[in-house]
Structure 1
Amino acid sequence: MATHGRTRSQLNEQAQLQQFIQDKKGRRGTTKGISVQNQRRRTGKLEIVIHLRRKRVVGDNACHFKTEACVTLKQYALLRYPYFKDIPFENKRKMWLAIKQKFDLQGNSQTKAVFFKQFNRQYMNRLHKLHSYYKDHKYDENVLNQPPEGVELSDWELLINYFECEEFRNVSDRNSENRGKLKMFHTCGTKSIAQYCYEDRDTETGVEPTRTDTLKKTHFSTKKNDWVDQESKDPYDKITRLQNPEPEDNHEPMNEDEAFIEALGPENQDEMSSRIEALESQANSQEAQVQAQVQAYLKNQFPAFFQNLGGASHPQENVRKIFG
């Protein structure tokens, strides 16, 4: 039977096409790194910035780096390994070389460690998504022979065996239980807190917002004009009260670090180590600047004496020769 000149079969095909288009809307396709390639054609190697305290890639090209890390992982990180640390060294070396070709590392000694932490996060995130896919299709008859897009059949078989082993199930159950205990939710989306801090920094001095300000920015909804949950508001109020006590509180005002630890507990070891390294790096930089200024002053005031120092080129060495 025809309906307005179209058969029932044609109508069904049209409906299926519309449904297909609707299903595709809002879905992200396979990451190919095309945006990174186009950007590199315009500017050459992309500059990256390392957040020293949080050990994250931040800045204008942070998204490009994550995209390229995803592409590089798919190329060299075989999914047959349950952990990123199990991937062969040669594969990791190729991943590192691939990144070096596309990004300006600026001689930062921490870059490699930061990069591989990002690789590890994205690799484990990909395994998590594949596990979710497997759970959703676990009882399909053809799940073993129909791996997700971009996954080799041999790798998929190994992954399924891993997903079904007792070790993985125990870890998965424990992680699910821990996620269920989370009470504080943030408004960051996929953007890291380090990126928020970087974007809100004073561009002249480089000073970032305080941790208290960052807590509010990442846990306060501007759309609702309210905190995302009470568990986020309570520690913020406590920190504010500890820094600005009322007379009845009977204690001296705390600085921000003291108040933050009192309200939310001590920082984890990684973050504390990062802060120490950042402070040491800042101190070394300031010391080098002072030594360079002293050398410039001496060279200007005592040029003849300066020439007899024996050709020492390092500011610290020159200063030591002069002052013993």
Structure 2
Amino acid sequence: MPPARKRLAKGNGQNVPARLTRSRIATASVDDIEEAQPPTHPRVKEAPSRKKRGKTKGYAVKKRLEEGQKIGGIIIEEGAKAPVGSNENLFKMEMGVVVRVLAPIRKFFWTEVTEEEKLPLFAKIESEFDIDMSDPHVREMVDGIIAARFRRFKHNCHQHYKKESDPIKARENPKKTVNIDDWKVLCDHFESPTFKKQSLANVQNRAMQIHPHTRGAKSQSQRLYELNNKEAAVEPTENDAEENVPAEASEPPELRVYADTRKKRDGQWINPATNAVKIAF
């Protein structure tokens, strides 16, 4: 018996595989299902777009946990303003994932979230990282980071809402991971006079910043931690005479981090007044 031929789409001569039946769908692979989709219009070559960082999905944490132990490398010292350590970035990113999945979406501010509603988020973080949430300082630190991630998530929701100039269309186009009912509640919030007034004030306040940092979301504490570790690992040599040491290297590490995060990639200050602030120290 000759092998079955693939049907040809009328008029264009394209090979189109036979339609999947119910029995075939049950055992078909993803590739089979994609191959069985109806032909699309010829692909139009699009202009290259700037690469953007995708949404964090927590895959790195899941992979580490599959190894059978909690993730270490998180240092939360008494009196510190932020956590530091080899996994500090992973720690903070995972809190963003936890917020999107477990935080009460219909609460507009973290101060409105009750301690009982926070417990699932705290428990999730403690189950993944080697930290002690019974320590008041650790709990306060985690609460503060989650609060910042909560504000960022609501900000991203508002940015998504503003993509549509028509409020009606904006309501019909919820952000991914937000169900339509929760989205409508958020839209009510975005359209309220109180929110609009506060949003305008925030925009004006950001425009007044004259010394913005230029090096991403890494905290000042983490930068100091990495700088100190880097310098501690360098063995002094006979050539490291005092006269050969650059002036910047003799400055306090806090001042060097400040300067490093207020310069452009070409080494120029983000604002001439920023250098004056550094000199004043």
Please say which of residues 157-166 and 85-94 is displaced more in the overlay: 85-94
Q: Give yes or no for contact 2:163–2:170 (8 Å, CA) kept in 1.
A: no
In 2, Cα distance between the equivalents of 1:57 and 1:154?
36
Pairwise mapping of residues 216-227 of structure 1 onto structure 2 (< 5 A)?
A: 216-221=259-264, 223-227=265-269
Match of residue 21 from structure 2: none
1:33 to 48, 58, 69: 58
Q: Please say if residues 110 and 151 of structure 2, whose CA atoms lie closer than 8 Å, have aligned partners that are also in contact.
A: yes
Superposed CA deviations along residues 282-312 of structure 1, whole A, max 9, x for unmatched, are xxxxxxxxxxxxxxxxxxxxxxxxxxxxxxx
Cα 1:29/1:220, change in 2 over 3 Å = closer
Which residue of the partner structure matches residue 87 of structure 1?
Answer: 113
Matched, 1:238 2:280: yes
1:155-199 deviation per Cα after TM superposition (whole angstroms, max 9, x unaligned): 111111111112111211111111111011222212111111111
The Cα RMSD (Å) is: 2.9
Name the CA shift for 1:218/1:28 in 2 (closer, same or farther; >3 Å).
closer
Contiguous gaps of at least 5 residues in structure 1? 240-324
Structure 2 residue matching 1:149: 3-state secondary structure: coil
Q: Which residue of 1 aligns with 2:5?
A: none
The AA in structure 2 aligned to 1:92 is K
**Shift of the alpha carbon at 1:129?**
1.4
User: Secondary structure of the equivalent of 2:104?
Assistant: coil
Deviation at 1:72, TM superposition (A): 1.2
Supply the distance in 1 between the matched residues of 2:89 and 2:68 (Cα, whole angstroms).
Answer: 16
Q: Aligned with 1:231: secondary structure?
A: helix
Higher helix proportion: 1
For residue 257 of structure 1, what is the aligned residue in structure 2?
Answer: none
Q: CA deviation at 1:131?
A: 1.0
Q: Secondary structure at the match of 2:83?
A: strand
Distance 1:53 1:89 in 2: 23
Q: Which letter maps to 1:14?
A: R
Shift of 1:113: 0.5
Q: Distance in 1 between matches of 2:77 and 2:203?
A: 30
TM-score, length of structure 2 as denominator length: 0.71
TM-aligned CA deviation for residue 140 of structure 1: 5.9
Aligned residue in 1 for 2:20: none
Q: Please give the residue correspondences for 1:46-65 in structure 2 after superposition, counting only pairs within 5 Å.
A: 46-47=71-72, 48-50=74-76, 52-65=78-91
Q: Give 1:42's aligned residue.
A: 67
State the Cα deviation string for residues 12-70 of structure 1 (Å, max 9, x = none).
Answer: 5221xx549x56x7244443211011122336111211254442122111121122211
Matched residue type, 2:42? E
Q: Does 1:181 align with 2:223?
A: no
Aligned pairs for 1:1-324 (under 5 A) are 12-15=41-44, 18-19=45-46, 26-42=51-67, 44-47=69-72, 48-50=74-76, 52-105=78-131, 108-139=135-166, 141-202=168-229, 209-221=252-264, 223-239=265-281
1:46·1:102 contact (CA, 8 Å) conserved in 2? Answer: yes
Partner of 1:255: none
Higher strand share: 1
Residue-pair matches, total: 226
Letter in 1 for 2:259: K
Deviations 1:50-93 (A, max 9, x none): 25444212211112112221121122112211101222433211
**1:220, 1:52 → 2: CA distance?**
31
Task: State percent identity of aligned pairs.
Answer: 24
The AA in structure 1 aligned to 2:57 is K
Cα displacement (A) at 1:117: 0.4
The normalised TM-score by structure 1 is 0.62
For residues 86 and 211 of structure 2, the distance between their equivalents in structure 1, rounded to whole angstroms, comes to 28
CA-CA distance at 1:118 after TM superposition: 0.5
